[in-house]
Structure 1
Amino acid sequence: MPAIETVPNRVVAAVRRSFRQFLALPLATIVGFVGLNALVYLADRSWSGGAAPTGFRWLGALLGDRAALGGLLTTVASSIITVTSITFSLLLIAVQQGAASLTAQVTDQFMARRTNQFYFGYFVGLSVFVLMTLVTNTEFHRPVFGTSLALVMTTFALCLVIVMLYNTIDQMRPERIVQFIHAQILEARADDERLLARTRRTPRPGWDVRAVVRATERGYVVGLDADRIQAAIARAAPDAVEVRMRVPVGTFRALGDPLFDIRARPGFVLEAEAREAVEAACGRALTFDDGRDLGHDAGYGLHQLATIAWTSVSTAKSNPSPGRVVLLALRDIVARWSPGEVDPPEALGAHVILADHAPTAATDALEAVIVVASESIQCQTLAEAMDSLAILLGHVAAPTADRLAGIAQRSLSALGEHVLTRELEAALDGLAAAIAGIK
């Protein structure tokens, strides 16, 4: 197996993922508070030497001398730090309870929300602002404006605690969690479509596999630079070589697992040097990481929805409500993606072949909910699933409809132990009529 240079470094990739998923906004907010403190420090220089800015003498008299400012800032700093620590502890407990009732996927959606990122950044940034203002309180510098601003922002922070607690509790509801993941899946799908638009869906018939590129490290494949491979093939053999990626982005690969097939036109002699150049480009085009990103990996979002439904619907929890919410989200996703299967985006002249696995993963997740509903004998969830199949079969495109019809046929074996309730009977009648309508 040839050695392949892989970039970026795993530590760098982890840092980038951390900033992309959570750290960017909180740190930017903290930096904003530091910059604000610097500006306020310059404004407070007008109070040096006992002078007072025109029109603000009353403010200096209200806040008092250096000793009064120091005592006030010390009280504010200790209070805001105490409130921050207690509030964050309560938030983490609420998140933990939500994760225990559903799955660990709750943590991902909690961190990915911009409002939560702002809350963390605001409280920590405010604490830094107050401490920096306290440090500048000296014999030569009276931070009157800084203290006033600290009081205003602390008052706002205390009011914000109520909003933050409500938002956190609201975010732990299964409906909110599924809605957020659903929105992230649709956003990530836009990234998929941009990549698909630069590649082809099917390999050229009759071309031979000349080499297999294997993984030289373990981890999730989180990125593909198709243009790098295109450029390498254009230099080596532009009209006689193509590369087919065996796995979708988001798949875990162990050391030595196959990644790409290098295919060539029959009768074309692929020189060793050209083949090695294409292999090296394939290795450099991939980005490996230890985790997946919900915001850029639609398959990961579908996996999270299926996991939430499986955990809640199974006999481990026996809670049909989250499962039904997941089914509604999956039905919307399948309906949105079905037209793209008829006319998939692709570049006909591209040399990279990448199959579109996301629509199939969506219907597979729907099938998984049916399986777990049969395990827990939840007639409500099964009826909702059958009703979803019937509704989708009434308007989705042929490739999607064929898979859904196959799911319906395979699901018949799950009905043996179910009581034929009115709701389930009506859903099955609707499904039978939908299947008859597509034949």
Structure 2
Amino acid sequence: MVWSQFFVSVLSGVAVSLVLASLRVGWTHRRVPLGLSRAVTRRSYLATILTLSRDPGLERIEGVIPSLRPSTAGPLLPDIQAAWARVDARFVVSEAPESLAAGAELAGKGVEVRVKRSLLADDLSYHVFGGERPQVVVNHRDGRRDRPSRLVGPSPTRIFQAHFADAWRCAVPIESVLADEALGDGPDRAVVAERLRELRRRYALSGQAEAAVVRHLAFLHSARVVFVTGLPGAGKSLVRNRLAEKLGALRLQVDQQGDYAYIFSEFVKRMIRLEEDSTGFVAVSGGAFDVDDERRLEPALRRLSRQVLTTVDKPMVTLVEFARADVVAALLVFGEEILSRAQVIHVRASAARRAMRLEARAQPARVQVDGLRGVTVELSDNHLVPATAASSRYVGDDAAALAPHRVFDGRLHHVDNELDDPVGLDRRLDGFVDDVIRPYRTLVG
């Protein structure tokens, strides 16, 4: 072969390659690429997560990880868990056993984890890294292969943050999930103790994680409902809101209910004659009302009771606030199914202190028109209580009769709120929380 033929062959090959490359580039630029199509090794994927989790500019991590694995499942996982424990991190996982075990490990390190029962192990997972360089790592685990992709910048980050917020609201704290598993269907403490020991073995619970599960178990077993009662002006709403904050700090989900909205709706229906019986309620200047007999308020309690029943089997604590002179009769409206898993906080203050608070607060309802057919009434915890009611019906209550009542044996707690003393109130509420949890600390040796 002469040199000219050799060079022609080489140039022809190069030309063909260039033509094919040009066609490929042109096709690629016109074609929408298939996302999450490139498979990488598990180690490469985890190494990327670890690097991003150690970024000095990182402020927080949020993620939905259906197939989260415990630290024993790979050499990089302990380092990833340690990195997550050093930042503000929150994760939603599935209820698969391995995910629960990994979630329990993270909870033991102080990381917030929730469980979404509808998640499947092969669903997409993502980590949202917030900070100086916001980005998202999305992964599709296809059998044994990981197909991740990185999206950099605030725009994709905001989309996944919004999705995470929805997932977080729908999920249940892992401590409550494990506590509910220990409780099962039976209230027997010996059975609960054995189940708790089994959970400790199955999920290798650390001391910190086990203590958190016990706290949730205590409330879900004996205080799924906490009634906050007392006369108007005693400070029930303050106590309820502060207790909700304390339970939230323990990662318990809290629902708050009260009877005033139900009472107000009964009042409105009677005032505009939507009910055949329009008697019993009297309008008072300032957007308030009074009744001729406290028994007129019982239908509102029954409606409230039905609402509480919708939450009593969920892994959450429901705080229920109401004011009655006949506290015993009001509580008995809720029935055995609720009362058997309830605690009662009775808030006390002197008549002079209550009168002063009632006079100072008095926020009327706000009425807003929404379009052609909507009217919204916004009520306040600090609603007006008529002077006639405060000086006659609410002079005192029968809370003293609760203590000897069998249903409330060991379930009644008094909170003195005479002084506007936030530190003292916190101390008394901490005492209530400890009273609920203390009997359960000895369940597991």
For this structure pair, what is the TM-score category when the shorter chain's length is used for normalisation?
under 0.3
TM-score for the superposition, normalised by structure 2: 0.25
Structure that is richer in strand per residue: 2
Q: TM-score, normalised by structure 1?
A: 0.25
> Between Structure 1 and Structure 2, which shows a larger proportion of helix residues?
1
